[in-house]
Amino acid sequence: MKQYIKKSEYETVHLDNEWIIMNTDNFTVTKLNALGGFCWTLLEHPQSIGSLSQSILQKYDLQNESLLTDIEEFLGELIEYGLVHHAV
């Protein structure tokens, strides 16, 4: 089972319902909504798509049929932005 983790301790700012992640290695800024920010905090430790899904369902009252696909796409984007990688 693939697991994911933050690549580094990037500067993170939480304002209202948005999270801003500053990747000082690549000089980029990424904005996340509240749900994305929640996932970001969980990625301090290795997480699988299933474990992220379980945590989201416990915290938020979601009835999203495509939650696993959405999480996979979200993680793919974070990998593309250089913020997350596969845990070893």
The structure's pTM equals 0.89
- Our count of domains for the chain comes to 1
For the chain, the average pLDDT equals 92
- Segment 53-72 shows an average pLDDT of 88
- CATH number of the domain that residue 69 is part of: 1.10.10
pLDDT at 85: 95
pLDDT at residue 64 tops 80: no
pLDDT at residue 80 tops 80: yes
pLDDT at residue 24 tops 90: no
Segments forming the whole domain that contains residue 27: 4-86
- Segment 50-54 shows an average pLDDT of 94
DSSP string for residues in 33-88: EHHHHHHHHHTTS-B-HHHHHHHHHHHS----TTHHHHHHHHHHHHHHTTSEEE--
- Segment 42-62 shows an average pLDDT of 92
